[in-house]
């Protein structure tokens, strides 16, 4: 069976994964080329609604097609060192995803946050993460994810900020919420999971940085299974959310 799987993966991808793009002396197979284009589109465009509309399709269709590609890559990941180096992140590496959580959803966790650390006033809980899409981008770089914590559209404003500067912005947001100048609608948070086979995390971030102009140390997670996670926010947001 192992030999059959190896031969199948060689037929699908050859001995040099994405050789055309990486300028290896091996032409990509048709399926390999399709998988590469699906991946490249996601890394550059995140399958945004606007991108899907330009292609005359939907996010769900694009995500489902990419998931099929990732599933096959995942199944072949351990067949060849040239695959493993690109496809398998270091086990137990922390992967982060920053976002603004809707306050009603966030309040499901509010009562479970304990006392904050004295240094940064951050609070954390161990919980579980339910995927929002069948393919999602995570980063092995905490700071990159931190810059996404008040929504993707805010990333461009914070993309050069240090960790201390982002936390300062969190403080400004909390001040505005407290003063009623900003609605308590979305709570800046960071999710953390560990890369591993049970989490369906694929790609070495060195490899995704080669493919993407964003350089965000990306690991992709595919599937909708609920996984163990840590959720982090600031104690001020917990109190504001409880009052909302």
Both tokens of 70, joined, read 């990732």
CB–CB of 66/161 below 8 Å? no
Rounded to an integer, the average pLDDT of 143-163 is 92
Last residue of a domain, one of 64, 85, 106: 85
16 is in which domain, residue-wise?
A: 2-85
Q: What is the pLDDT of residue 58?
A: 96
Last residue of a domain, one of 37, 58, 85: 85
Residue 129 and residue 161 share a domain = yes
d(CA 79, CA 75): 9
State how many domains the chain has.
Answer: 2
Are 65 and 106 part of one and the same domain? no
39 and 136 both lie in a single domain = no
Model pLDDT, residue 151: 84
Whether residues 140 and 225 share a domain: the answer is yes
Most confident listed range (3-12, 28-37, 139-148): 139-148
- Measure the CA–CA gap between 47 and 4, rounded to whole angstroms: 34
Looking at the structure, do residues 109 and 219 belong to the same domain, yes or no? Answer: yes
Q: Higher-confidence residue: 20 or 218?
A: 218
The tens digit of pLDDT for each residue in 100-117 reads: 999 999 999 988 998 887
Residues 6+ positions from 160 with CB-CB distance below 8 Å: none
Which of these, 208, 226, 225, lies nearest to 217 by C-alpha position?
Answer: 208
For residue 198, pLDDT over 70 is answered with no
Q: Given 85, 116, 131, which residue is the final one in a domain?
A: 85
| Mean pLDDT, rounded, of the chain | 92
pLDDT at residue 200, rounded to an integer = 85
If pLDDT is split at 50, 70 and 90, which confidence band does 226 have?
Answer: very high
Q: Are residues 106 and 227 in the same domain?
A: yes
Judgement on whether residues 75 and 177 belong to the same structural domain of the protein: no
Q: Which of 22-26, 51-55, 160-164 has the lowest mean pLDDT?
A: 22-26
Q: Are residues 80 and 27 in the same domain?
A: yes
Taking the C-alpha atoms of residue 167 and residue 68, their distance in angstroms, rounded to an integer, is: 38
- Residue 118: pLDDT above 70? no
| 1 has a pLDDT exceeding 90 | no
pLDDT band at 71 (very low <50, low <70, confident <90, very high): very high
151 vs 148 pLDDT, higher one: 148
Are residues 40 and 120 both part of a single domain?
no
Q: What percent of the chain has pLDDT over 70?
A: 98
Same domain, 137 and 236: yes
219 shares a domain with 117: yes
Confirm if 238 and 192 have CB atoms less than 8 A apart. Answer: no
119 pLDDT higher than 80: no
Q: Based on the domain organization, do 79 and 120 belong to the same domain?
A: no
């Amino acid at each position: 069976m192992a030999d059959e799987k190896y031969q199948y993966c060689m037929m699908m991808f050859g001995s040099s994964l994405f050789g055309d793009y990486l300028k290896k002396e091996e032409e990509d197979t048709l399926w390999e080329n399709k998988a590469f284009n699906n991946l490249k589109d996601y890394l550059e465009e995140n399958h945004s609604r606007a991108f899907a509309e330009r292609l005359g399709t939907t996010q769900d269709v694009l995500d489902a097609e990419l998931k099929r590609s990732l599933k096959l890559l995942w199944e072949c990941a351990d067949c060849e060192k040239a695959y493993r180096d690109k496809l398998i992140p270091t086990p137990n590496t922390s992967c982060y995803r920053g976002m603004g959580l809707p306050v009603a959803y966030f309040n499901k966790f509010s009562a479970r946050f304990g006392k904050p650390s004295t240094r940064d006033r951050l609070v954390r809980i161990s919980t579980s993460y339910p995927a929002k899409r069948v393919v999602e981008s995570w980063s092995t770089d905490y700071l990159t994810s931190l810059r996404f914590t008040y929504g993707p559209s805010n990333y461009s404003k914070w993309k050069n900020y240090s960790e201390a500067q982002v936390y300062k912005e969190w403080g400004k947001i909390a001040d505005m919420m407290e003063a009623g100048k900003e609605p308590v609608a979305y709570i800046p948070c960071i999710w953390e999971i560990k890369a591993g086979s049970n989490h369906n995390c694929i790609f070495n971030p060195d490899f995704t940085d080669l493919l993407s102009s964003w350089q965000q140390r990306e690991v992709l997670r595919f599937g909708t299974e609920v996984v163990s996670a840590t959720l982090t926010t600031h104690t001020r947001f917990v109190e504001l959310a409880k009052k909302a």
